[in-house]
Amino acid sequence: MKKSIRFRTQLMLSFWLILILSLCIPAYYIFQTLKNDIYKEANANAFTQLNFIQWLLEETPEFENEPALDQWCKDIGAHLNYRITVIAAGGRVIADSDVAYQNVSSLDNHAGREEIIGARKSGQASSIRYSMTIKRKLIYAAKNINLPDAPSGVLRVAIPLSTIETRLAYLGHRFWLILFVIFIITTLLSFFLTRKLESPILEIIATANAVGEGNYDQRLDMDTGTEFARLSECINDMTRKIRQDIERITEQKQELEAVFEGMAEGVMLLDKDGKIKATNQALIKIAKCVPSCVGRRPMEVFLNPEIQETCDQVLQKEIAIRRKVEIDNQTIYEVNLVKIPDGGAVVVFHDISELVRLEKVRQDFVANVSHELRTPLTSIKGYAETLLDEKFRVSDQANSFVKTIVKNTDQMSNIVNDLLELTKLQQQQKKTVLLSKVNAAACFSSAWETVMPMSNKKGVFIDNRLPDSLPVMAEENSLIQVFRNLLDNAIRHSPTDTKISVFAKINNDAIIFSVQDEGTGIPLQHQKRIFERFYRVDKERSRAFGGTGLGLSICKNAVFGMGGKIWVKSPPEDESKGSVFYFSLNKPDKLVKSQILMAKKKAPNSRCVNPE
């Protein structure tokens, strides 16, 4: 990972680069120009001295010999502190102020020296180089001269550069010192300026980080300049808009989540790979995901190949699919799948088990009603057509046929009456039923008196274990009807010389009543449907007893209308046969618990016996 450089460091480096370029280049140019000017001045001075020495040489009488010339050069050179050399036409040195005369002859031929060659061509010339003879750097200025002993010779003056170099070194040191001082001052100034410039930038960064972390109340307040003030206004306005957008998105998200989680339908979202991306609580309950459905395939959750096949189908090519799927033996779902254009799908599970069950109940109801009415109607029609015959009308069997017609008519009348009563109870459930405080024991006694002839005739004994006073919140006629229908049902399905027991017990704010018989019992698979209209466990046997098939359905609607519940258990606990029907009713609000007596055993003679 590339390490970034701080903005302040970058800015200072930029300042330093600009400073170096803006100071060093001009300074270098000035120094070189000054150096060239000093060298030019030194060169001009060398020629001035050369002309002066030439004039002295011309004004001096002729020398007797070369040693005299050499001595003259040494004397002049000692006064002027210059090196004076006289070179013959062929380049041979004949006199030198800095070399002993006896060594002059051993000096190198100077014909190839730069200044000598230049003087031969143009009359005078100069050069700068290091002298190996005197171990110093010199400016050589040469000029053609004519001497009696050296026609077409060259007079050369060598001036030391030490003074010039010292001067240049001094100027160079001063120059670099000034540059260093300027550099230090500008560095401190740039550090201060960059720090001042970096401060609002750091404040902007801190504000941006705070906004990025969700602190939308953060605001900038800078007065460091027009540009930063406008920038702070823009950032504050942007933060305010972001906060509004986030609040709006959050509110919409919460609303969608509330709708999503509040849906009774199970919803799951699939990604483009066919894995579960999100679910709501309803689907978790349907799939019973442990610990979570997310990240798994539908097949892993539902163990249903039909669901997986449908999901794969909608992910690959289909846009929308609706299919009915049975998760287990008791639960049926209508599954709607819609493909998402960017990849994935939305799957909705709608529980239609109750609708399917109600549809089956409706079909069974129509079939049962038709069957219940068709049998007596067929019998009535057949006997009536027989009675139309005048010969048969006066026979001994005519009376029996009329009784059969009356019996079937009564059966049909009972069915119609029960249907009307059931319809009435169902309509009352849609309204507010006014309940009052009634004595359940008295209501039971009324029902008991109604069924007593039937129980005496069949030899079935009713064991009443209800207390004498048992107040409940109910509707008196409906409660009497519930007791009557349960007792009637128990008597019809109880063998001869058996017992029906009636109990009551307290359970929190409700009183639970039970009617227990010693009949053959109800198979488990039928217990959930026996409260449906016209549902019979054994149709032929039940019809032979004369029942309409609506009694238990009337009990259910009556109990529900009074705010209670009804259920059955067959066989009862610790028993091998028989059934017990339970229903609950609410206690009065101001009823004291001590006023409700538990069911008490009564003497055997309290049972209803056959009066014979």
Phi then psi dihedrals of residue 502, to 5 deg: -120, 125
Between residues 609 and 29, which one has the greater pLDDT?
29
In the structure, what pLDDT confidence band is assigned to residue 105 with cuts at 50, 70 and 90?
Answer: confident
Please spell the DSSP secondary structure of 463-532, one letter per residue: EE---S--EEEE-HHHHHHHHHHHHHHHHHTSPTT-EEEEEEEEETTEEEEEEE--SS---GGGTTTTTS
> Sign of torsion, CA 161 167 171 173?
positive
CA 387 – CA 401 distance, rounded (Å): 8
Residues 6+ away with beta carbon under 8 Å from 298? 268, 270, 274, 276, 304, 307, 308, 311, 347
Multiple choice CATH, 263-351, 3.30.450.20, 3.40.50.300, 1.10.1130.10, 3.30.70.580:
3.30.450.20
Q: Please tell me what DSSP assigns to residue 537.
A: S
Q: What percentage of residues in the chain have a pLDDT greater than 90?
A: 8
> Residue 582: pLDDT above 90?
yes
Nearest to 577 by CA among 497, 514, 493, 506: 493
Fold agreement (263-351, 432-606)? no
Query: Tens digit of pLDDT for each residue in 147-191?
Result: 765 567 888 888 877 667 677 777 778 877 887 888 788 778 777
CA 81 – CA 15 distance, rounded (Å): 50
Q: Do 334 and 352 contact (CB within 8 A), yes or no?
A: yes
Homologous superfamily in CATH for domain 30-168:
PAS domain (3.30.450.20)
**Domain locations in the chain?**
30-168, 263-351, 356-424, 432-606
H helical segments located in 60-161: 66-80, 101-104, 114-122
Top-level CATH class of 432-606? alpha beta
CA 109 – CA 93 distance, rounded (Å): 7
Q: Tell me which H or E stretch contains 543.
A: helix 539-544
Q: Take residue 475 and report the two structure tokens written for it.
A: 């509707």
Task: Report the alpha-carbon angle 395-399-403, nearest 5.
Answer: 150
In the structure, what pLDDT confidence band is assigned to residue 385 with cuts at 50, 70 and 90?
Answer: low
Q: Which residue reads 């009435």 in tokens?
A: 424
Query: Tens digit of pLDDT for each residue in 331-351?
Result: 888 888 888 888 888 888 888
End-to-end Cα separation, the chain, in angstroms: 109
What SS3 string covers 381-422? HHHHHHHCCHHHHCCCCHHHHHHHHHHHHHHHHHHHHHHHHH
Nearest to 511 by CA among 609, 428, 582: 582
Between residues 402 and 435, which one has the greater pLDDT?
435
CA 217 – CA 244 distance, rounded (Å): 11
Between residues 595 and 581, which one has the greater pLDDT?
581
Between residues 201 and 91, which one has the greater pLDDT?
91
Q: Take residue 113 and report the two structure tokens written for it.
A: 């020296």
Nearest to 511 by CA among 564, 558, 465, 570: 564
Q: Tell me which H or E stretch contains 472.
A: strand 471-474
CATH architecture of 356-424: Orthogonal Bundle (1.10)
How many C-beta atoms lie closer than 10 Å to residue 99's C-beta? Answer: 20
Q: Which of 193-202, 242-251, 283-292 has the highest mean pLDDT?
A: 242-251
For the whole model, what pTM was predicted? 0.39
Q: Take residue 285 and report the two structure tokens written for it.
A: 């309950």
Q: Take residue 299 and report the two structure tokens written for it.
A: 């097949």
Least confident window among 67-81, 356-370, 439-453: 356-370
